[in-house]
C-alpha cells in the first residue's frame, strides 16, 4: 500500500502537465471519438502523478499550492480539455473526500498514483437511510466525469432516519458523500454530448447499497475535517471552480494562439487586406489577449489571497466571494475569447480536420457548467452591495 510520505517531486505539477501536451494533442481526436480517455493518456497521467495533486501528503499526495493546481489544469486543457476536466474533477473529489475520512479508510481507497475518484452531480432525489454502522443508499446520478478510469466512485445525498425524517448532525441536516467501488453500481453509457466527450461522464445508480460510516465523509463540514493544510478549509465548490476556470483559460489560450497563427498567414476572401494587415483583426487580437490575460491574473490573485488566508486561519466570506467572482468571471471571459477566435478564423473553423472544431465544442460545453453561470456573479454583487442573501457555492 503506497501510503508513505514521499519526498517532494523535483519537477512541479505544471511542468509535468506541459510534458504531456504532445501526447494529449495526438490523442485528442481519438478520445473525442471514444468518449473517454485513451489508455495511453491514463497511463501518462499516472506516470506523471497528476491524480494526487491535492491529496494529503500523509496519504501519498502532494498538497500542491492551489495556484500551481490551476496552472496545471490550464496546461493540460491547452492540449485537451477533456483530460484537463478529468484531472480537476478527480483531484478535487479525492482531496475533499480524503480530508474528511478516517485515515485508514482513506489510505485503502487512495492507494497509489492511479487512485482517482469520480462522482456525479448532487440532487435531491436520492435516499441515504441511517442504519447501524453506516447507510443504505439508493439513487441515480449523472455527469460522473472520468468514472470509466477510476475504481471508486461516489454519490452525494442528504441523510434520512429510518422513519423518513431528516437526520441531524452538527446541528443541521446531514449531507454526505458516499464512496463505493465502481463495480457495485449500475453504469449507463449515455454520454452523447456536444463537447468534453472524452470525459465519459456516464450516469450510474445503486439500490439499497450499504455504505459504511468510514466511507461516508461530510466533505465540507469543518467538524469532520481531519487534515489541517490550507487546501481543505476552501470548500470543494471553490476548488472545483478554480480548476475548471484553469481548464477554460487553457482552452481559450490555445484557440487564441491558433487564431494568431492563422492571421499571420491567411488572406480572407471577405477582406481586401491580408488578415495580418487588417486593422480590425489587429485590434481584436490585442483586445482578446488583454481580456484573457486579465482574467487569468485576477484568478491567480484571488487564488493566492484565499490560499494564504486559509493557511493563516483567516479565510472569510469576502475572500471566498472574491474567489467565486474570479473563477466565474474567468470562465465567461474565456468563453467569449473562444467564440471570437472561432468566428474570426472563418470557414476553416468548421472542418473536423482543422484545430478549431473539437475545441470549440469543448469550450461551449465548459461554458454550460454550474461554475460558469452568471447568477454566481449576481450573488457576489449582492454581497458587495450588502443585500441580505444566503451565500451558495462559497
- Of 1.20.140.10, 3.40.50.620, 1.20.810.10, 2.60.120.10, the CATH number of 236-385 is 1.20.140.10
Residue 8: pLDDT over 80 = no
DSSP one-letter string for 294-358: HHHHHHHHHHHHHHHHHHHT---HHHHHHHHHHHHHHHHHHHHHHHHHHHHTGGGGG-TTSSSHH
Mean pLDDT in residue range 106-120: 94
Instruction: Decide which of 115 and 167 is more confident.
Output: 167
> Which tops the pLDDT comparison, 292 or 274?
292
| CATH code of domain 13-115 | 1.10.540.10
Higher pLDDT: 115 or 89? It is: 89
Structure pTM? 0.94
For residue range 346-378, what is the model confidence (pLDDT) as tens digits?
988 999 988 999 999 999 999 999 999 999 999
- Is residue 134 predicted with pLDDT exceeding 70? yes
Tell me the mean pLDDT in the region 140-158. Answer: 96
Residue 335 CB contacts under 8 Å (≥ 6 apart), including other chains: 248, 252, 363, 364, 366, 367, 372
Sort 192 into a burial class: Cβ within 10 Å, 0-12 / 13-18 / 19+.
exposed
Per residue in 19-43, pLDDT (tens digit) is 999 999 999 999 999 999 999 999 9
Instruction: State the average pLDDT over residues 364-393.
Output: 96
Whole-number pLDDT of residue 165: 96
Of the candidates 143, 194, 207, 238, the one whose C-alpha atom is nearest the C-alpha of residue 362 is 194
State the average pLDDT for the chain.
Answer: 94
Q: What is the pLDDT of residues 206-261, one digit of tens each?
A: 999 999 999 999 999 999 999 989 999 999 999 999 999 999 999 999 999 999 99
The pLDDT score that the predictor gives to residue 4 is 39
DSSP 8-class letter at 7: P
**Could you tell me the CA-to-CA distances from 244 to 21, 180, 299, 314, 375 in Å, in that order?**
18, 25, 11, 25, 17
**Domain-wise residue ranges, the chain:** 13-115, 118-220, 236-385
Q: How far apart are CA 60 and CA 269, in angstroms?
A: 57
CATH fourth-level superfamily of 118-220: Butyryl-CoA Dehydrogenase, subunit A, domain 2 (2.40.110.10)
Which pLDDT value is given to residue 275?
Answer: 86
- Torsion angle, alpha carbons of 258, 260, 264, 267, to 10: 80
Whether residue 84 contacts residue 136, with contact meaning beta carbons closer than 8 Å, is answered with: no
pLDDT (0 to 100) of residue 391: 92
Please say whether the beta carbons of 134 and 72 come within 8 A: no
pLDDT, tens digit (0-9, with 9 covering 90-100), for 153-171:
999 999 999 999 999 999 9
Give the residue carrying C-alpha cell 475572500.
319
* Predicted local distance difference test score (pLDDT) of residue 272: 64
pLDDT digits (tens, 9 = 90+) for 52-98: 999 999 999 999 999 999 999 999 999 999 999 999 999 999 999 99
Q: What is the average pLDDT across 105-127?
A: 93
Kindly tell me if the per-residue pLDDT of 6 is higher than 50. no
Place of cell 456536444: 194
pLDDT tens per residue across span 280-324: 999 999 999 999 999 999 999 999 999 999 999 999 999 999 999
**Distance in angstroms (rounded) separating the CA atoms of residues 285 and 291:** 10
- Secondary element (H or E) of residue 141: strand 134-144
Q: Please list, in sequence order, all residues whose beta carbon lies within 8 angstroms of the beta carbon of residue 39, skipping any fewer than 6 positions away.
A: none
Quick check: 9 pLDDT over 70? no
Rounded-to-integer distance, Cα 61 and Cα 10, Å: 14
If phi over 0 gives left and psi between -120 and 50 gives alpha, with beta otherwise, what is residue 32?
Answer: alpha
Work out the burial of residue 241: count CB atoms within 10 Å of its CB; fewer than 13 is exposed, 13-18 middle, 19 or more buried.
buried
Give yes or no for a contact between 292 and 249, defined as CB atoms under 8 angstroms apart. Answer: yes
The radius of gyration computed from the CA coordinates of the chain, to the nearest angstrom, equals: 21
Contact by Cβ (8 Å): 216, 134: yes
Amino acid at each position: 500500500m503506497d501510503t508513505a510520505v514521499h519526498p517532494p517531486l523535483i519537477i512541479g505539477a505544471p511542468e509535468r502537465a506541459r510534458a504531456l501536451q504532445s501526447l494529449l494533442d495526438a490523442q485528442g481526436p481519438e478520445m473525442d471519438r471514444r468518449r473517454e480517455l485513451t489508455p495511453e493518456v491514463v497511463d501518462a497521467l499516472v506516470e506523471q502523478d497528476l491524480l494526487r495533486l491535492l491529496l494529503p501528503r500523509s496519504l501519498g499526495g502532494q498538497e500542491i499550492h492551489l495556484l500551481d493546481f490551476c496552472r496545471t489544469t490550464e496546461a493540460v486543457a491547452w492540449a485537451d480539455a477533456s483530460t484537463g476536466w478529468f484531472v480537476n474533477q478527480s483531484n478535487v473529489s479525492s482531496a475533499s473526500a480524503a480530508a474528511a475520512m478516517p485515515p485508514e479508510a482513506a489510505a485503502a481507497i487512495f492507494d497509489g498514483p492511479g487512485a482517482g475518484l469520480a462522482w456525479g452531480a448532487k440532487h435531491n432525489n436520492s435516499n441515504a437511510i441511517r442504519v447501524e454502522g453506516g447507510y443504505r443508499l439508493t439513487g441515480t446520478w449523472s455527469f460522473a466525469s472520468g468514472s470509466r478510469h477510476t475504481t471508486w466512485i461516489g454519490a452525494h445525498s442528504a441523510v434520512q432516519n429510518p422513519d423518513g425524517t431528516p437526520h441531524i448532525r452538527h446541528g443541521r441536516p446531514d449531507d454526505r458523500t458516499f464512496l463505493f467501488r465502481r463495480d457495485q453500481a449500475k453504469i449507463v453509457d449515455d454520454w452523447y454530448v456536444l463537447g468534453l466527450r472524452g470525459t465519459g461522464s456516464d450516469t450510474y445508480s445503486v439500490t439499497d447499497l450499504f455504505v459504511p460510516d468510514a466511507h461516508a465523509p461530510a466533505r465540507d463540514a469543518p467538524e469532520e475535517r481531519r487534515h489541517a493544510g490550507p487546501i481543505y478549509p476552501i470548500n470543494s465548490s471553490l476548488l472545483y471552480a478554480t480548476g475548471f476556470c484553469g481548464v477554460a483559460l487553457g482552452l481559450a489560450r490555445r484557440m487564441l494562439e491558433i487564431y494568431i497563427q492563422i492571421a499571420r498567414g491567411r488572406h480572407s476572401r471577405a477582406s481586401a487586406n491580408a488578415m495580418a494587415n487588417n486593422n480590425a483583426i489587429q485590434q481584436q487580437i490585442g483586445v482578446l489577449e488583454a481580456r484573457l490575460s486579465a482574467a487569468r491574473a485576477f484568478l491567480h490573485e484571488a487564488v493566492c489571497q484565499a490560499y494564504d488566508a486559509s493557511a493563516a486561519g483567516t479565510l472569510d466570506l469576502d475572500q471566498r466571494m472574491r474567489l467565486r467572482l474570479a473563477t466565474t468571471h474567468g470562465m465567461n471571459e474565456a468563453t467569449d475569447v473562444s467564440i471570437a477566435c472561432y468566428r474570426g478564423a472563418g470557414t476553416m473553423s468548421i472542418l473536423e480536420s482543422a484545430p478549431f472544431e473539437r475545441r470549440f465544442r469543448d469550450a461551449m460545453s465548459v461554458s454550460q457548467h454550474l461554475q460558469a453561470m452568471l447568477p454566481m456573479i449576481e450573488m457576489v454583487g449582492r454581497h458587495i452591495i450588502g443585500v441580505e442573501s444566503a451565500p451558495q457555492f462559497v
